[in-house]
Amino acid sequence: MGGVTVFLLLIWTLISPSSNGKAWPPHTVCRDGNLEVFYQSCDPLQDFGFSVDQCSKHLKSNLNIRLGIVLREDIKELFLDIALFTKGSSILNFSYPICEEDLPKFSFCGRRKGEQIYYAGPINNPGFEILEGEYQVLLELYNEKRSTVACANATVICS
Amino acid sequence: MAPCAGCFLLAVMFSASCKAITSSDQMCTEKEANKTYNCENLGLTEVPDTLPNTTEFLEFGFNFLPVIENTTFTRLIDLMFLDLTRCQINWVHEDTFQYQHQLNTIVLTGNPLIFMAETAFNGPKSLKHLSLIQTGISNLEFIPVYNLEQLESLHLGSNHISSIKFPENFPTQNLKVLDFQNNAIYYISSEDMNALEKATNLSLNFNGNDIKAIEPGAFHSKSFQSLKFGGILNLSVILKGLQNSTTQSLWLGTFEDSDDQDLTPAMLEGLCEMSVESINLQKHHFSNISSTTFRCFTQLKELDLTATHLKALPSGIEGMNALKKLVLNVNNFDQLCQINAASFPSLTDLSIKGNMKTLDFGAGCLEKLENLQKLDLSHNDIEASDCCSLQLKNLPHLQYLNLSYNEPLGLQSQAFKECPQLEHLDLAFTHLRIKAPQSPFQNLRLLQVLNLSHCLLDTSNQHLLAGLVDLRHLNLQGNHFQDRRISKTNLLQPLNSLKILSLSSCDLLSIDKQAFQSLGKMSHVDLSYNSLTGDSIDALSHLQGIYLNLAVNSIHAIPPLLLHTLSQQNTINLSHNPLDCTCSNIHFITWYKENLRKIEGVEETMCANPPSLRGVKLYDVKLSCGITAVGIFFLIVFLLFIAILLVFSVKFLLRWKYEHI
C-alpha cells in the first residue's frame, strides 16, 4: 500500500506544474454600470497590473491605460495577439506590432529584460460600441523570439 | 509440466515487446553541453553544484543573491558571459569576479544596488560590456573605475542620472556604446562632453530624457557614430546644440505617447550647421510642408520619415541630390506619384510600406529614379490588373523588389521587363492572376530569390517559371497543386540552378518519383506541413547531402528500399509524423537510431502506433522482432518436450492395448 502511495506521489510531482501551480488572482480593470472587465495573468511566472481610464460600452478612441510589469524579455520587438470569444466560439483574431526595429511606436520600446515598466498613456485604439453579452479575451504580448512578455485572460461582461 | 510449457511460449512471444527510457531533468537548462546554461527563475541562492566548472555562458537572472562576493562564483573560472538580472543584489563586494579572467559581459539590470566596492570588477582581463540598467544609480561616481579600461559598452538606462559627466579617472578610451535612456538628463554642458573626448566612433543614446538645453559648443568639432534624442519635444534645442558636430546617424523620432510640436522649417535650421549622414524623424508632424522644409537636408544620405502623417512630398525640393535612401513607411499617400520622386535623382533605396490608405500604383511614378536598386512597396493594398511594366517604368538597375502583402496583381508575360537586373523578388501573400501559358518572369535571367508563398498560383501552368535560369531559392509555400500531387512534368522543370525549395503547407498527398529529376543542385528541401507518406521520399533519390524537412506529414512507415535515399542526406526532420513503431517498420527504426546525428527535432519525433507506444520518442523505442536466440532455445526445448510426451503416450497406449488382448 505504502509503495502505491509513494508511486502516486511521484506521478503527481512529475505531472504537476513546476514551481507552485497556483493561479494569479483575478483583477478588476473597471466596473461601471453596465460594463465589467476582469483579467487574470496567464504567465505562470508573474502577475501584472493594468487599468483603463474610462469604462463604458461606448468605447472611446485613443484610450488611456496604466500598465505596470517586470520585463522577462527584451522588447526591441513586441507584438500583441488578441483572440475574442463568446459562448466558446471565436469571433475575432488579430495580431498587432507595438514595437518594431524600424518603427518603435511607444517610448518603452527597446527596454531590456529585467526592467520594471510603468506606462500611463494612450494606446491609439479605434472607438467602438460593445454589444451586450459576455466575452472572453485572450491577450498575449511576445517578442521576436516568440517568448511571452505578458499574457492575460480577460472577461468582459456588458449588459 | 503443461503450464510451464505455456510460459515458454509466452516468453517467446513477449521477447518482441518494447521498453521506453526517460531521462531525468536537471535544474538548470543545458543549452550547450558544458558551456551554456540557463538557471533563470529558480529562486536559487547560490550557484548550484550541478553546474560544471567549464560553464562559459550563464543566465542566472531572477534568482536571489542579496550579496555577491569573491566566493560566489569561485568555481566557474571559464565564465565569459554572466547575466544576473533582477537577483535582488544589494552588495557587490571586493574582488567578486577575481577568478573570472575570461569574463567579458556582466549584466546587473534591475538590482537594487546599495554599494559596489572599488575592486568589484577586478579580475577579468578584458571586461567589454557592463549593464547597470535600473540599478538606482543617481551619480556616475557610483561605478567603480578600476579594471574598466577595455569597456566597449556601458548601459545606464532607467536610472536617476541627471548629469552625464564622468569622473576624471573614468576610462572612456574604448567606449563605443553609451546608453543613458530614460534618465533625468535636462542639460548637457561642454564639460560633460569633454569627459568623453577620448572615445572615438561613440554611439550615445539619450532617448527618453527631457533635454531642455545644450551648452553652445558642447558638441563642437566632435564626431559620433550615432546620437539618439528620441521623444524630445523641442528639436531646435538639440539641433542648435549639435552645432559643428559630425554624426553618421541622428535619431530624432518621437512616440505615440510623447507630446509633439509641429516641425517648422525654422526648427530644422540647425541642420545646416552640422554634418550628418542619416536622420530619422519618425512620428513627427510637419506644419505646412513645403520645399523650404528640407532646405538644410542637402548633405543627407538617408532620410527616414516613417509615420510622419504625410499626404504628399512637395515638388521642387532642390539640392537633395545626395540622398541615397528614403523611407516613407506608414504615411497617407493616395498615389505613388505624390512622393514626387524626381527630387531625389540619386536614390538607390526606397521604402514605402504599410501605407495607411490604399496606394494607387500609378504609371511611371518612379521613372526618374534611374539608380534605384532596392524598392519596398509591401503592405500597401496595391491592386493592378496589368502589372508591372507601366508601373515600374525605367528602373534598369533595380535588384530587390518587394510587393508582398498587396491586393491581387494581374501579371502578363515578361511582367518585369522594365527591371531586368532583378535578383530578389518577393510577392508573398499577394494574389497573382496569371493566365496559362503566360511566363511573367521570363526575362529575369539574374533572379536568384523568388518568394511566391500564398500567391494562389495556378501551378498547372508549366510555363509559369520559364526563363528563371539562375534561380537559387524558390518559396512556393501555401500554393496548391492539381490532384494534390506533383507529377512527373511540373512547373519546376526549368529551374536547373535551384538550391533551396520550399513546398510546405501545399496540401500535398504525393510527389512523383521523377518530379525533381531536373533539379540536380538542390541542397535544402522543405516539404513540411503536407500529407505526404513515406513513398514520396523516392523523389529525392538523385540528391545527396541535402537538408530535408518532412515535419508534420502523414508518414507512418518508410520502406526499407528508401532508407538508402535518406542515408545520403545531411539533415532530416521527421518530427510530428504518425510514425509506426511496430515490427513492420523495424528497418526504419533501426536506421533512425543509427543516424541520430542527422536527425533534427528528435524530441518531437514520436510513435503514433501501437497505442501502447503513442507519444514515446522514437530514439527510446526498443523493438526486437522475429525470433531471438533465446526464443529459438525455448522453442526447441518446447518441441522436444512435446516429442517426448508423444513417444511416452504411444508407448503407454501400446502397452495398454497389449495387456487387454
Give B255→chain A minimum CA distance, Å. 5
Q: Which residues of B touch A103 (CB under 8 A)?
A: 282, 306-307, 329-330
Query: pLDDT band for position B436 (50/70/90)?
Result: confident
Are the beta carbons of A124 and B256 separated by less than 8 Å?
yes
Residue B458 has pLDDT above 50, yes or no: yes
pLDDT at position B628: 61
Note the helical H segments in A17-159. none
Listed in order, strand segments (DSSP E) in chain A are: 27-32, 35-41, 49-52, 58-59, 64-70, 78-86, 89-100, 103-104, 116-122, 128-129, 133-143, 148-158
B53, with CB counted inside 10 A (0-12, 13-18, 19+), is exposed
Listed in order, strand segments (DSSP E) in B449-520 are: 449-451, 473-475, 485-486, 500-502, 510-511
Residue B93 has pLDDT above 90, yes or no: yes
pLDDT at position B661: 64
For residues B231 and A105, give the distance between their C-alpha atoms in angstroms, rounded to a whole number.
Answer: 11
Query: pLDDT band for position B18 (50/70/90)?
Result: very low
For residues B450 and B459, give the distance between their C-alpha atoms in angstroms, rounded to a whole number.
Answer: 15
Query: pLDDT band for position A56 (50/70/90)?
Result: confident
Are the beta carbons of B329 and A45 separated by less than 8 Å?
no
Search chain B and give the residue with CA nearest A46: B41
For residue range B399-418, what is the model confidence (pLDDT) as tens digits? 999 999 999 999 999 999 99
**Distant-in-sequence, close-in-space partners of B195: CB < 8 Å, separation ≥ 6:** B164, B165, B166, B168, B170, B172
Of B43, B255, B304, the CB nearest to A106: B255
Structure-block grid coordinates of residue B521: 543542385
Going by C-alpha positions, the residue among A104, A123, A112 that lies closest to residue B280 is A104
Pick from B27, B63, B84, B134 the residue to mutate for testing the A interface (most A CBs within 10 Å): B134
Residue B328 has pLDDT above 50, yes or no: yes
> For B375, what's the count of Cα atoms within 13 Å in the CB-facing half-sphere?
29
Of A106, A112, A113, the CB nearest to B257: A106
Q: Which residues of B touch A123 (CB under 8 A)?
A: 256
Query: pLDDT band for position A91 (50/70/90)?
Result: very high
Give A107→chain B minimum CA distance, Å. 6
For residues B131 and B151, give the distance between their C-alpha atoms in angstroms, rounded to a whole number.
Answer: 11
B24-28, B207-211, B327-331, B480-484: least confident range: B24-28
pLDDT at position B626: 67
For residues B371 and B348, give the distance between their C-alpha atoms in angstroms, rounded to a whole number.
Answer: 5
pLDDT at position B318: 86
pTM, full prediction: 0.87
Mean pLDDT of B203-215: 95
H or E element: which one contains B276?
strand B275-280
Beta bridge partners of B599: B572
Listed in order, strand segments (DSSP E) in B398-442 are: 400-402, 409-411, 424-426, 432-433
Q: Given its phi and psi angles, is residue B480 left (phi above 0), alpha (psi -120 to 50 degrees) or beta? A: beta
Q: Which residues of A touch B207 (CB under 8 A)?
A: 107, 110
Residue B12 has pLDDT above 60, yes or no: no
pLDDT at position A48: 96
Are the beta carbons of B110 and A70 separated by less than 8 Å?
yes
**Averaged pLDDT of chain B:** 92
Are the beta carbons of B61 and A113 separated by less than 8 Å?
yes
Q: Which residues of B touch A107 (CB under 8 A)?
A: 207-208, 230-231, 255-258
- Those of residues 313-352 in B touching chain A at CB distance below 8 A are 327, 329-330
Query: pLDDT band for position A122 (50/70/90)?
Result: very high
For residue range B595-654, what is the model confidence (pLDDT) as tens digits? 999 999 999 999 998 999 999 999 998 887 766 666 677 778 888 888 888 888 888 888
Any idea which residue has 529525392 for its cell?
A: B540
Of A105, A106, A114, the CB nearest to B61: A114
For residue range B516-536, what is the model confidence (pLDDT) as tens digits? 999 999 999 999 999 999 999
Residue B348 has pLDDT above 50, yes or no: yes
Are the beta carbons of B158 and A119 separated by less than 8 Å?
no
Query: pLDDT band for position B280 (50/70/90)?
Result: very high
Of A45, A103, A122, the CB nearest to B306: A103
Residue A124 has pLDDT above 90, yes or no: no
Note whether B64 contacts A: Cβ–Cβ < 8 A.
no
Residue B4 has pLDDT above 50, yes or no: no
Note whether B183 contacts A: Cβ–Cβ < 8 A.
no
Note whether B472 contacts A: Cβ–Cβ < 8 A.
no
Task: Name the phi and psi angles at A5, rounded to 5.
Answer: -60, -45
Cis peptide before B437 (omega within 30 of 0): yes
Percent over 90 (pLDDT), chain A: 67
For residues B375 and B601, give the distance between their C-alpha atoms in angstroms, rounded to a whole number.
Answer: 37
Structure-block grid coordinates of residue B363: 504609371
Give B37→chain A minimum CA distance, Å. 17
Give B148→chain A minimum CA distance, Å. 22
Going by C-alpha positions, the residue among B22, B23, B30 that lies closest to residue B56 is B30
Of residues B292 and B627, which shows the higher confidence score?
A: B292
Mean pLDDT of A82-103: 94
ipTM of the complex: 0.85
Task: Please spell the DSSP secondary structure of B61-122, one letter per residue.
Answer: -SS--SEE-TTTSTT-TT--EEE-TTS---EE-TTTTTT-TT--EEE-TT----EE-TTTT-
Of B109, B181, B256, the CB nearest to A105: B256
Note whether B113 contacts A: Cβ–Cβ < 8 A.
no
Mean pLDDT of B5-31: 48
Give B158→chain A minimum CA distance, Å. 8
Cβ pairs A/B, distance under 8 A: 72
Give the rounded distance of the alpha carbon of B441 from its chain centre. Answer: 29
Search chain B and give the residue with CA nearest A107: B255
> For B72, what's the count of Cα atoms within 13 Å in the CB-facing half-sphere?
24
Of B257, B282, B330, the CB nearest to A122: B257
Residue A43 has pLDDT above 50, yes or no: yes
For residues A6 and B336, give the distance between their C-alpha atoms in angstroms, rounded to a whole number.
Answer: 73
Search chain A and give the residue with CA nearest B88: A114
Percent over 90 (pLDDT), chain B: 86
Beta bridge partners of B276: B247
Give the rounded distance of the alpha carbon of B85 from its chain centre. Answer: 24
**Distant-in-sequence, close-in-space partners of A117: CB < 8 Å, separation ≥ 6:** A67, A68, A69, A70, A71, A108, A111
**Residues for chain B: how many in total?**
661
Listed in order, strand segments (DSSP E) in B555-632 are: 571-573, 579-580, 599-600, 607-609
Note whether A109 contacts B: Cβ–Cβ < 8 A.
yes
H or E element: which one contains B251?
strand B246-251
Task: Please spell the DSSP secondary structure of B115-151, one letter per residue.
Answer: EE-TTTT-S-S---EEE-TTS----GGGS--TT-TT-
Of A110, A112, A122, the CB nearest to B256: A122
Going by C-alpha positions, the residue among B638, B639, B642, B589 that lies closest to residue B617 is B589
**Distant-in-sequence, close-in-space partners of B363: CB < 8 Å, separation ≥ 6:** B390, B391, B393
Note whether B181 contacts A: Cβ–Cβ < 8 A.
yes
Q: Are B307 and B331 in contact (CB under 8 A)?
A: yes
Give A133→chain B minimum CA distance, Å. 32
Of B85, B182, B327, the CB nearest to A113: B85
For residues B574 and B553, give the distance between their C-alpha atoms in angstroms, rounded to a whole number.
Answer: 8
Q: Are B457 and B433 in contact (CB under 8 A)?
A: no
* Torsion angle defined by CA atoms of residues B617, B619, B622 and B626, in that order, rounded to the nearest 10 degrees: 110
Mean pLDDT of B135-152: 95
For residues A69 and B81, give the distance between their C-alpha atoms in angstroms, rounded to a whole number.
Answer: 26
B281-295, B586-600, B624-638: least confident range: B624-638
Q: Which residues of B touch A110 (CB under 8 A)?
A: 181, 207
Alpha-carbon Rg of chain B, whole angstroms?
Answer: 35
A30-44, A134-148, B122-136, B183-197: least confident range: A30-44
Would strands A116-122 and A64-70 be described as parallel, antiparallel, or unpaired? antiparallel
Q: Are A40 and A63 in contact (CB under 8 A)?
A: no
Give A104→chain B minimum CA distance, Å. 7
Q: Are B468 and B441 in contact (CB under 8 A)?
A: yes
pLDDT at position A18: 43
H or E element: which one contains B275?
strand B275-280
Q: Which residues of B touch A73 (CB under 8 A)?
A: none
Mean pLDDT of B481-506: 95
Q: Three-state SS for A3?
A: helix
Give A121→chain B minimum CA distance, Å. 6
Listed in order, strand segments (DSSP E) in B305-417 are: 325-327, 349-351, 374-376, 384-387, 400-402, 409-411
Structure-block grid coordinates of residue B638: 518446447
Beta bridge partners of B548: B525, B572
Pick from B113, B155, B257 the residue to mutate for testing the A interface (most A CBs within 10 Å): B257
Q: Three-state SS for B224?
A: strand
Percent over 70 (pLDDT), chain B: 95
Would strands B424-426 and B571-573 be described as parallel, antiparallel, or unpaired? unpaired
- Those of residues 253-272 in B touching chain A at CB distance below 8 A are 253, 255-258
Any idea which residue has 530619422 for its cell?
A: B280
Note whether A72 contacts B: Cβ–Cβ < 8 A.
yes
> For B65, what's the count of Cα atoms within 13 Å in the CB-facing half-sphere?
28
Residue type at position B306: T
Query: pLDDT band for position B223 (50/70/90)?
Result: very high
Search chain B and give the residue with CA nearest A117: B158
Q: Given its phi and psi angles, is residue B34 left (phi above 0), alpha (psi -120 to 50 degrees) or beta? A: left
Q: Which residues of B touch A109 (CB under 8 A)?
A: 255
Q: Which residues of A touch B61 (CB under 8 A)?
A: 113-114
